[in-house]
Chain A
């Protein structure tokens, strides 16, 4: 078990180093930098001012030096300064993380708590009207873009309640908290709940046809016990994989949802930072997201090992 964990951790480290190199150099390949953008916004360019600013920001140095400077800083906990706000990158990023984390956790919770039970129900009642209805719902979940769903929620809210659930940094009541996080998390989690439901359904259908399920029923086990204790436990592995992958891809949905609901989280900030070519912010945020994704994959691997003990021996 120890060797398995060490192997996984070593792989994580290599992945993170690779990502740091890719993100650093990809950012520099994209045409235009912060200085170009600042002068474009001012509608003029003075070569002397431009050179001064490049020197001030350190982007006139060779790329390898810039990379090493960043990595050494990162290892010392110094993330540098935002080019735009001129504040420490850490001060800009840290307050935004809990906001996005809450949103992402709620979206995943929504996805799992809605997707798994509905997937089980859909599989158990295969071919029934309920099954067809749930399949239509899941298909719509996969087809509706989250920005569209988000806008619909906003418009419905204004039209029905005369209010709009845009971000409130200091929610005073449960209702405010609910509207601040729950509605956006539904908008972002609806798609992955649909995917979770479909995977649960197909995985359950496969398991429900196994001999041991027939045996369980023959032994007189209740339907609930058969479905949830015997079938779901064995059908859950692909579902965990999908939830892990969805956690990684959630950032895409969050960018849109944070924009539509005006939530000042990490995802929207990342887009703004890319727009401004605010390298210290983009690099550190992408590294942070990469770390989350790698950790999510690591967790999934560990859960695999927990749910299927054969994995730790064969890997």
Chain B
């Protein structure tokens, strides 16, 4: 409880810091230097599923609507107009109409119109002759029948049924508007947007450069002359370079808690913020095959977890325990603590949980003299491998002898898709703190990202029910029920949500680290350098 209070205080102070920064007179000019953790696969946000692309390329674009960039917690209340001047729901809540801004130009001088909005979403929904190579968020718009235009400055999303969360999805950093006249292939290598910064160059494994858009439709913005990202995959080198003053900002949410200590020691003036990133570390269980087709064994697995141990070992206590939705106070949809603790495996008495787990294992035919041998598959990356090792250790307490099976990234997804695993340790990042994104993407029967093939038609009906609910309080209660049921079904046991750090030099102003998504806060038009 104390850590929750401290965390809430940290969020408040962060908001105060941001407010103070804005109270100052913003200075124009300067290049913001950021190191980038890896070389993005392409520059096309719509075709990628990593914030390695959002961070450098979100400043190139605008959305229809966007989460307010100086508010740390994304919610429906913090959504503001972007390329849309306003929006309105129809009376039956099945159409969302946007009035678009006039006089906006693409970076190549072409005018922005409603046709660009239609083009973008036709491509995302797979209805356009122009196709993306990859289209990872097509399922976000499953309820959208089509996007229609009315003249050059009005676009409507027509839905199969009400979906209040559509606005939340449209406000994500993953939902920029693309120009009709530029092909997807060009957008991968030379993106054209309407945003505050123009693309200059992207040298793979080297750097990404953006320059100020002098014709940006928000007068007086951006404050910076440009942004330069230097790609430094080696974390030690990157942190040393930040400490030595070569960079103004670390790659967002990429400084681990132990590294944060180093930064604070070596660069005491640096401003560092630790925040949740809405990435859950979870277990994927292959329930199609023995032994995990047995619900008792799956439940025993969930009961064996000592979540606090994971958090103290990996994050020095800086993590959160929750269900499918990000825990409070950062998360908007987390079930209350007392409800969470009722779920098997979430109670505070670990020994009692494990005793119950052993009974379930004995019921399934295992015991002290007959252990269950399994492999825990995971990607060969420290953030995956480290918790997998802890998991293996914890499973020993319930007669499970697990062995680590590390899989190269190139083979990980195909292995999971083939169901060629028994147990896996996985990380799931949620771009939008909204149940529609999390539930449909990870737990819906036909979702391509439902790695475990968990399929419960009753729950699926509840997904639709909550998705259509316009009363926020009622929707929250439905979401809690669904989340509880998902954990009880051991659909994809959530172990923990980590927190990570972002640091910047004291002269960098206007940076806000978002606390319930790592995908939405990189427009950088308000950032300025006080030097």
Contact = CB atoms under 8 A, between A and B. Distances in A.
The answer to whether A binds B is yes
Given A42-B136, A49-B131, A260-B234, 4 more contacts: A36-B414, A43-B49, A43-B413, A269-B204
Nearest to B238: A262
B96 to A, nearest CB: 25
Given A46-B135, A52-B131, A87 B205 contact: no
Nearest to B203: A264
A36 B204 CA distance: 20
Interface string A70-94: 0000000000001011110000100
B17 to A, nearest CB: 26
Contacts of A276: 41
B411 A264 contact: no
Interface in A197-218: none
Interface stretch (A11-19, A110-118, A150-158): A150-158
B261 interface: no
Given A31-B410, A38-B134, A43-B449, A158 B49 contact: no
B266 A158 contact: yes
B237 A43 contact: no
Given A40-B410, A92-B204, A154 B237 contact: yes
25 contacts: A31-B408, A36-B413, A40-B410, A40-B413, A41-B41, A41-B48, A42-B49, A43-B449, A45-B448, A84-B204, A86-B185, A86-B188, A87-B189, A154-B237, A158-B243, A162-B244, A164-B237, A166-B232, A259-B233, A262-B231, A262-B241, A264-B203, A264-B205, A264-B206, A275-B410
Interface string A26-52: 000001110011111111111001001
Contacts of B412: 40
A42 B48 contact: yes
Nearest to B52: A41
Interface string B23-62: 0000000000000000101100001111000000000000
Most buried by B among A49, A155, A277: A49
Nearest to A57: B133
A32 B448 contact: no
A266 to B, nearest CB: 11
B240 interface: yes
Q: Among A37, A43, A85, A276, which residue has the most Cβ atoms of chain B within 10 A?
A: A43
B160 interface: no
B246 interface: yes
Nearest to B243: A158
B400 to A, nearest CB: 28
B134 A49 contact: yes
Contacts of B203: 264
B204 to A, nearest CB: 5
Interface in A245-274: 259-262, 264, 268-269, 272
B220 to A, nearest CB: 31
Contact of A39 (B134, B185, B231, B246): B134
B512 interface: no
A37 B409 contact: yes
Interface in B202-216: 202-206
B131 A85 contact: no
A36 B411 contact: yes
A225 interface: no
A27 to B, nearest CB: 12
A218 B98 CA distance: 101
A164 B230 CA distance: 14
Contacts of B234: 259-260, 262
B111 interface: no
Contacts of B48: 41-42
Contact of B133 (A33, A49, A92): A49
A251 to B, nearest CB: 16
A163 interface: yes
Contacts of A37: 409-410
B390 to A, nearest CB: 24
Nearest to B266: A158
A236 interface: no
A166 B236 CA distance: 12
Contacts of B39: 272
A295 interface: no
A32 B134 contact: no
A38 B413 CA distance: 10
B20 interface: no
A238 to B, nearest CB: 36
A164 B47 contact: no
Contacts of B49: 41-44
A275 B50 CA distance: 17
A53 interface: yes
Contact of A36 (B245, B266, B410): B410
A163 B244 contact: yes
A282 to B, nearest CB: 13
A217 to B, nearest CB: 52
A148 to B, nearest CB: 11
Interface in A155-178: 155, 157-158, 162-164, 166, 169
B417 interface: yes
B418 to A, nearest CB: 10
Contact of A272 (B133, B204, B410): B204
Contact of A164 (B41, B241, B417, B448): B241
A261 B185 CA distance: 32
Interface in B393-414: 408-414
